[in-house]
Amino acid sequence: MRRQLIAGNWKMHKNSETARGFAKEFIKLYDFTPEVDVCIAAPFTELLALEEMFRDTDLLTAAQNMHFEDQGAFTGEISAPMLAEIGVDYVIIGHSERRAYFAETDEMVNKKVKKAFQWNITPIICCGETLAQRDQGLETHIVRHQVVMALAGLPDELVAKAAIAYEPVWAIGTGRVATPQQAEDMSKVIRDVVRVYHGDAADSVRILYGGSVKPENAKEILDMEDIDGALVGGASLDPVDFLKIIQAAEN
Ligand code: PGA
C-alpha cells in the first residue's frame, strides 16, 4: 500500500508573518492521519521557521528547488546539505516553472535527484507536457522521456522512495484541471516506464497529480488507482482549502 502524499507548493508567496500565520492556523486544524504524508514547500527564507513550528507535529517541510553541488561558487543557490541541516524532508525538482524560466534541463534534474537522495531528502520530481505538445499528441513521449532521464543511473531502491508529480503545464495555475481519467492515464504511463527501467520500484514509487487541484476536484483525482497524492499550488496558500484536499486523500 502506498501512502498518499499531499504536498503544498507555495511558490514565491508569503512572507514571514503570513507563513507563520498559516502554520499556526494549520497546526490547529490538522489532525494526523496515518494514510497521508503532508508537506509544505515554502520559500527558502521560511523553511527554518516552518521546521521549528512543525517539530512536534507530523507535518513535513519541502524546498522548491536546490543545486546539485554540495557547495561552491554558485551565487544565489542553496544546496542539499544546507537543506538537510535544517531538517527539510522533501525537495521539488524540475518543476515546469524551473524548466521554463530558469532553463533547467533533464540532466540537471537527474543530478539534483541524485544529490537529494545523498542527503536523505526525498525528491518530488516534476514532469508534464505543454499544451502544444499535447495538441501534437506528444504527451506520453515527453513525459516518459522526462521520467527516464530524471531517474537515470539511480538504484531501484532509491527510485522506490521517490515521488513523481505529473503536472501538465496547461493545467498549472490556469484553473483548467486535467480530467481524472487523463491524470490516471498518464500516471499509468509513468508507472509502466518506471517498471521497464527499475522493476518493482514501480509498485512503491508515489505518483502525484498537480495542476489546479482544489477542494472541489481533489477527491475524484485522488481516488484514481495510480494516483498517490497531489502537488498543490494555489490551493495550498489557504489552510482551510489545503486541509480539505488532505481530507479528500484520507477517505
Ligand atoms: P496550481 O500549481 O495548483 O496552482 O495549479 C501546481 C504546481 O505548480 O505545483
> How many Å lie between the centroid of ligand 1 and the Cα of residue 12?
12
Give Cβ neighbours of residue 43 (< 8 Å, ≥ 6 apart): 10, 12, 13, 14, 19, 64
| 86-136: pLDDT as tens digits | 999 999 999 999 999 999 999 999 999 999 999 999 999 999 999 999 999
Band the pLDDT of 33: cuts 50, 70, 90. Answer: confident
What's the confidence (pLDDT) of residue 234?
97
Q: Within 13 Å of residue 42, how many CA atoms lie on the same side as its CB?
A: 27
> How many Å lie between the centroid of ligand 1 and the Cα of residue 213?
7
Band the pLDDT of 244: cuts 50, 70, 90. Answer: very high
C-alpha cell at 153: 543511473
Q: Is 123 in the pocket of ligand 1 (CB under 6 A)?
A: no
Q: Is 231 in the pocket of ligand 1 (CB under 6 A)?
A: yes
- Which of 129, 167, 184, 198 is the catalytic position? 167
> How many Å lie between the centroid of ligand 1 and the Cα of residue 72?
31
Q: Within 13 Å of residue 180, how many CA atoms lie on the same side as its CB?
A: 15
What's the confidence (pLDDT) of residue 1?
78
What's the confidence (pLDDT) of residue 31?
86
CA quadruple 86, 92, 94, 97: dihedral positive or negative? negative
- Catalytic annotation on 95? yes
CA–CA distance, 43 with 31 (Å, rounded to integer): 24
What's the confidence (pLDDT) of residue 173?
85
Give yes or no for residue 202 having a pLDDT over 90. Answer: yes
Band the pLDDT of 34: cuts 50, 70, 90. Answer: confident
User: What CA–CA distances, in Å, run from 143 to 1, 24, 86, 87?
Assistant: 25, 38, 33, 31
* Residue nearest atom 2 of ligand 1, based on CA coordinates: 233
Q: Is 212 in the pocket of ligand 1 (CB under 6 A)?
A: yes
Q: Within 13 Å of residue 137, how many CA atoms lie on the same side as its CB?
A: 0
| 204-232: pLDDT as tens digits | 999 999 999 999 999 999 999 999 999 99
User: What CA–CA distances, in Å, run from 183 to 93, 126, 141, 221, 227?
Assistant: 20, 14, 15, 7, 8
What's the confidence (pLDDT) of residue 176?
83
Q: Provide mean pLDDT across the span 180-200.
A: 98
Q: Is 215 in the pocket of ligand 1 (CB under 6 A)?
A: no
- Catalytic annotation on 167? yes
C-alpha cell at 216: 472541489
Q: Is 155 in the pocket of ligand 1 (CB under 6 A)?
A: no
| 148-180: pLDDT as tens digits | 999 999 999 999 999 999 999 999 988 888 899
C-alpha cell at 244: 480539505
Domains of the chain from N-terminus onward: 4-250 (3.20.20.70)
C-alpha cell at 56: 512536534
Q: Which amino acid is at 25?
A: E
| 53-79: pLDDT as tens digits | 999 999 999 999 999 999 999 999 999
> How many Å lie between the centroid of ligand 1 and the Cα of residue 73?
31
What's the confidence (pLDDT) of residue 175?
82
